[in-house]
Amino acid sequence: MTEFEVGLIGTGALLLMVFAGVRVFIVAATIGLFGTVAVQYVVVGDFGVAWSSGAGIVGTVPHSKSINYALSVLPMFILIGFIAYHAGLTHALFRAARAWFGWVPGGLAVASVFATAGFAAVSGASTATAAVFSRVAIPHMLEHDYSPRLAAGVVAAGGTLASLIPPSAILVIYAIIVEESVGTLILAGFVPGVVSAIIYAMLIIGQCMWKPELGRAIPSPPFSERLASIPGTLPIVAVVAIIFYSMYSGWATPTEAGALGAFVVLVIALIRGMKFKSLMDALVETARLTVMIFALIWGILIFVRFLGFAGLPQAFAEWLVALPFPPIVLMIGILLGYAVLGMFMDAIGMLLLTLPVVHPAVIQLGYDPIWFGIIVVKMCEVCLITPPVGLNCYVVSAVRPDIALGDVFRGIGPFFVADAITIALFLAYPGIVLWLPNLVNS
């Protein structure tokens, strides 16, 4: 048996166990350990030496990867979102969006999209965004006789914007895995995130013009009331401006920008009367999510080390490049593969498992790694609402048990069309993705 065959067996075993429901970080770390030992045994032919060598290699991974400075940005961005939520800043966002967009067909649903996009700009967690607006936006839509399916679908789909609009935990993870600039990727996600939100809004308006019973416009408030809603959004605007300006100007690293943003949100929260218990809840939830993400990273990177020794990434890249198809056809095939995987895996685990193999192939095909990062994270957004594992749909259903899970999944159906249009747009016009980072780096 060769090292390559050991790699294939290990990959097959991992996929089988993941689809069976075993936690990704446990499977990846276990198969990574025994796979590395097996590869060493193939090379040296002595089990004792292979175990000592393989276990020693695997044992260094958690520490060597944890001391990566880029990883420190994750808890900072996550903390911003949880403090903003527990400080009640999300309600102000929705009130402002309702005042400005409620008058269009499906106005409350459109307001929900832009409010989730605004919250996504201070939160790196899609599921947290979906949970927050299930409490904030859905009651208002149901109160105005909106279709429960539309209300649930809007919040589940709108929550996915946190994967793309900076600060995004998934973009940071992508940058760490493929060793690209965290700051450049964060900047690159802004314009595509805004474009995604606009396309969602256009889809909702079109739906509600075609079937007004889905969601009707609400009376437009006086202009003075619209202006009065703006000050409530200024704390979030200020945090976003601080993060972007500090990175854009080179004044701060992404981690420093995230820490500064968390400090500003905390000060605003304390001024607004945030209770000590709410602060502790935000800190505990940040710690829990951070530990979960780090556990995933450790487990997957152990598996990735095994794949490297087995030679699978390079072999896959060479095979893909040699196929007699244009690069765009191969890229579409890769994205369809992500769509299928997203039916069974969570977004972070899927990225961690596939990027070590797929990324080298994409580079050999001639695609920009920053552009590909945005495209693949957009695919992760799709996976967050794809049955049967669409986490955002389960979150909405858990927060709103009066809306059946089946209705949530039916409600997100039209948003797949919007996502397909968005991805096609980014494929056809890469400049949409690369404009802002090229502007900053020029």
Higher-confidence residue: 88 or 162? 162
Q: What is the pLDDT of residues 393-420, one digit of tens each?
A: 888 888 888 888 888 888 998 898 899 9
Residue with tokens 């307001």: 111
Alpha-carbon distance 301 to 375, whole Å? Answer: 22
User: DSSP characters for 205-252?
Assistant: HHHHHH-GGG----PPPPHHHHHHHSGGGHHHHHHHHHHHHHHHTTSS
Residue 180 is classified by DSSP as -
pLDDT, residue 288, reads: 82
Contacts of 419 by beta carbon, 8 Å cutoff, 6+ apart: 196, 378, 381, 382
Prior bond to 167 cis, omega within 30?
yes
Average pLDDT over every residue of 183-203: 90
Work out whether the CA dihedral 324, 327, 330, 334 comes out positive or negative: positive
24-38, 185-199, 236-250, range with greatest mean pLDDT:
185-199
Whole-structure pTM over 0.85, yes or no?
Answer: no
Contacts of 289 by beta carbon, 8 Å cutoff, 6+ apart: 78, 125, 128
Average pLDDT over every residue of 199-215: 92
Percent of the chain with pLDDT over 70: 95
Under a CB-based contact definition with an 8 Å cutoff, are residues 159 and 90 in contact? no
Is the pLDDT at 60 greater than 90? The verdict is no
pLDDT, residue 124, reads: 63
Contacts of 27 by beta carbon, 8 Å cutoff, 6+ apart: 14, 17, 18, 299
Average pLDDT over every residue of 363-367: 87
Prior bond to 212 cis, omega within 30?
no
Q: Which of 49, 53, 10 is nearest to 300 (CA)?
A: 10
Contacts of 437 by beta carbon, 8 Å cutoff, 6+ apart: 184, 187, 188, 370
Q: Lowest mean pLDDT of 209-218, 318-327, 421-430, name the range.
A: 318-327
With vertex at residue 299, the alpha carbon angle to CA 259 and CA 258, rounded to the nearest 5 degrees, is 10
pLDDT, residue 130, reads: 84
Q: Which of 73, 70, 69, 76 is nearest to 265 (CA)?
A: 76
270-276 long-range Cβ contacts below 8 angstroms, 24+ apart: 272/87, 272/88, 274/83, 274/86, 274/87
What CA–CA distances, in Å, run from 170 to 127, 268, 292, 399, 402? 12, 26, 13, 24, 31
Under DSSP, is residue 400 helix (H, G, I), strand (E, B) or coil? coil
Under a CB-based contact definition with an 8 Å cutoff, are residues 84 and 265 in contact? yes
